[in-house]
Amino acid sequence: MVGVSPKIAPSMLSSDFANLAGEAKRMIDLGANWLHMDIMDGHFVPNLTIGAPVIESLRKHTNAYLDCHLMVTNPMDYVDQMAKAGASGFTFHVEVAKENWQELVEKIKSAGMRPGVALKPGTPVEQVYPLVEGTNPVEMVLVMTVEPGFGGQKFMPNMMDKVRALRNKYPTLDIEVDGGLGPSTIDAAAAAGANCIVAGSSVFGAPEPGDVISLLRASVKKAQPST
C-alpha cells in the first residue's frame, strides 16, 4: 500500500494581511506545501475574512496550491468566483451541503478545482462517508479540531477519533486537520492518520517558522506508512 504524503499548509489567516504576497512567498520558501485560505462569510461563522478578490490578488504573486476552506452558508454561490480567482482546492462544509453535495462536487471539479468536505466538531464523521464513497467523490476531508471561525483556539484531542475512523476506512484519502495544530499536538494528529496539517499561530508566531514546518512534516512522515 502506498502511504499518503504530508502536506503542510500554513494558515494565512495568521499572516500579515497587509503583506500577503510576501508572507506567502516566505512560507513556500520555508517548505510549506500548500497555503490555507480561510473564507468566512460572517453568517455560517460569525467572523468575516477574505473572499475571491483577495485570492485573485494573491494568485498573481504565487503559483502555490491555494487550499481554500469555505466557511459559508451557500458554497454553490462561490464556486465560479473562486475558480476564476485562482483557487486550487475548494473545501465546503457538509453541514450546509447535505441536499446538493453531488451537484456541488461536480461543479467544483468542472471548474478545475479539487473538492474537499469539512465537518465541525459537533458533526458526526459518518455524515461525510457518502461524499468519499460517491461515484464522484470529494478528494479530501477536513476534520475541524476547533470550532470554525476564529484563530488561536485550543486543539480538541477528542476529534482524533474522527481522523482514526476516516484513516481506517480510507487508507489513501487526504485527511486534513485544522485548529490548534503545532509542535505539542502534531504527534496525536499524525498518529491518528492526518496527513494535511493546517497550522496558523504555531507557524507564524514562531521565531523560526521553517523549523515548525519541518517538525510538522517529520511527524506525519514518521506516522504514515511509506510503502
Strands 34-40 and 7-10, bridge-based pairing: unpaired
Look up 178 and say whether it is catalytic.
yes
How far from chain centre, in Å, is Cα 191? Answer: 18
Look up 38 and say whether it is catalytic.
yes
State which amino acid sits at residue 22.
G
92: β partners: 117
The four Cα atoms 57, 58, 64, 70 give a dihedral, to 10 degrees, of -90
State which amino acid sits at residue 48.
L
Q: What cell does 114 get?
A: 479539487
Element (DSSP H or E) covering residue 199: strand 196-199
What is the sign, positive or negative, of the torsion defined by CA atoms of 77, 80, 85, 89?
positive
Given 16, 29, 38, 67, the catalytic residue: 38
Given 41, 67, 174, 178, the catalytic residue: 178
Beta carbons of 207 and 183 less than 8 angstroms apart: no
Question: What residues are annotated to the active site?
Answer: 38, 178
